[in-house]
A and B are shown apart, each in its own frame.
Chain A
Amino acid sequence: MSGVRLLVGTRKGAFILESDGTRRDWTVSAPLFGGWQVYHLKGSPVDPNRLYASQSSDWFGQTIPRSSDGGKTWETVGNKFLYDGIPGTHQWYDGTPHPWEFKRVWHLEPSLTDPDTVYAGVEDAALFKTTDGGATWAELSALRGHSTGSQWAPGAGGLCLHTILIDPRRHDRLYVAISAAGAFRSDDGGATWKPITKGLYSKFLPVPTAEVGHCVHRIAMHPSRPQTLFMQKHWDVMRSDDSGESWQKISGDLPTDFGFAIDVHAHEPETVFVVPIKSDSEHYPLDGKLQVFRSRSGGNEWEPLTKGLPQADCYVNVLREAMDVDSLDPCGIYFGTTGGQVYGSADGGDTWTAIVRDLPPVVSVEVQSI
């Protein structure tokens, strides 16, 4: 691998940031899909030049651009995300039944083996799949049809399916996370699902240990240990070593365990990164200091990483999809902020530089090592 490509989704378009393996000098593309919200872009692991993007607008709905040349040119593919059958209702903020209504795609997860197969996590929460490169999409409706589906309620950002993980050792094992329904696992390619929330505790719920209702913000997995999952919940950083069957709290000595983003080092499965945010009411770092925290022990013991990051008067947020790692050596870590900065570290988090400072608010950062 000789370089890195960052696919950055923002509130007003997408940008592609590229560098060689040194990761010192970067090029920043002109805006792609200018004026549209781009919640996520992601490339196929088997064909890195095959990219998919979620381009949406409150005015004009959802479209899906696809590139076959690494983002130089794009074509618009299918955008028909229709719920399977009669959609029914989920719970609204006020507790009343509310019909399922498609709003946008939050996350695109290409297959590990086929560039034409992609999973899409959408709001209102559902999982869709294409096997023809995005021309057509079909809902894997057993998820939304789970017996708890009518109880799912939105978080402040909507009832969104934002995390999709594919087990690299058995591709029929899928994990999804939904705000604010919780986390689910399928062992049969999406035909059936079970909540995986044992050990989660959410004090805002009438029953804090309920099976569903947890506001899971993000789940991360290292491909060499797919049975181990790391979760940033609304509050609490959690860990599972049994494929989500049970969870343990690993917030340890973090100064606050509220946050959105979480990721795992590319070469060290026990090295985890989070960006603590002050609270669920104050979505910015503690004390105006932007700090990434790293645990080299799989949680509980955390160290702040601050070199090169603003340590005064910084009140940006880092959203759930806005952090990723490259697979070069040493591992690079990248994250984007709601202030439009994209920061990168080419040394495992020890030092940081701003790759670009003035983009629109960053929603997602996806890394390709190419």
Chain B
Amino acid sequence: MVRVELPYHLRQLAHVEPEVALDVPGIVTVAAVIDALEARFPMLRGTIRDHATGARRPFLRFFACEEDVSFSPWDAPLPDAVARGVEPFTILGAIAGG
């Protein structure tokens, strides 16, 4: 199972705890994790990647094993520790705003 850490607003929207465990089929990539997350929690569609462009929303970043993978190819395998659920895949909102 892949562990995904969600920011407050998305937890609230999906009615879940800070971390969710997902069964991600095949190679564990950013795209595969987001696909699995949206399939399990349809209310999150459009909140992480833009409906029109499919791009990551600009105020969000993705982290894996303390590395910023926001700009890595979405089809690149994530670290093995994330794929095995040892480390979480973290979706982080910009720390800004009023």
Contacts and interface: CB of A to CB of B under 8 A. Distances in A.
A-side interface mostly: loop
Task: Count chain A CB atoms within 10 A of each CB in B12, B51, B60, B97 and give the residue with the most.
Answer: B51
B47 A60 contact: yes
Given A82-B52, A102-B52, A35 B8 contact: yes
B47 A63 contact: yes
B60 A80 contact: no
Contact of B57 (A59, A63, A79, A80): A59
B13 A59 contact: no
Interface in A177-217: none
Contact of A59 (B12, B45, B93): B93
Interface residues of B, number: 21
Interface string A218-251: 0000000000000000000000000000000000
A44 interface: no
A63 B13 contact: yes
B-side interface mostly: loop
Interface size classification for chain A: 20 to 34
Contact of B93 (A33, A60, A102): A60
B13 A82 contact: no
Contact of A62 (B10, B46, B93): B46
Contact of A36 (B9, B46, B60, B93): B9
Interface in B51-98: 51-52, 57, 59-60, 93-94, 97-98
Contacts of A82: 51-52
Nearest to A75: B43
Given A58-B97, A61-B50, A63-B13, A76 B60 contact: no
B2 to A, nearest CB: 21
A59 B8 contact: no
B46 A79 contact: yes
A34 interface: yes
Nearest to A60: B47
A57 interface: yes
B46 A80 contact: yes
Contacts of B8: 35
A61 B57 contact: yes
Contacts of A36: 9
A81 interface: yes
Interface string A62-97: 110000000000001001111100000000000000
Given A82-B51, A82-B52, A59 B94 contact: yes
Contacts of B98: 11
Nearest to B42: A76
A59 B60 contact: yes
Contact of A81 (B7, B13, B51, B94): B51
Nearest to A361: B98
A259 B59 CA distance: 33
Given A61-B46, A63-B46, A34 B12 contact: yes
B43 A60 contact: no
A32 to B, nearest CB: 11
A35 B59 CA distance: 15
Contacts of B93: 59-60
Contact of A58 (B12, B46, B59): B59
B46 A35 contact: no
Contacts of B45: 79-80
6 contacts: A59-B57, A59-B93, A59-B97, A60-B57, A61-B57, A80-B45
Given A63-B46, A102-B51, 14 more contacts: A33-B12, A59-B9, A59-B57, A59-B59, A59-B60, A60-B47, A61-B57, A63-B13, A63-B43, A76-B43, A80-B46, A82-B52, A101-B52, A102-B52
List the 4 closest A-B pairs by CB distance, nearest first.
Answer: A76-B43, A60-B47, A59-B59, A59-B93
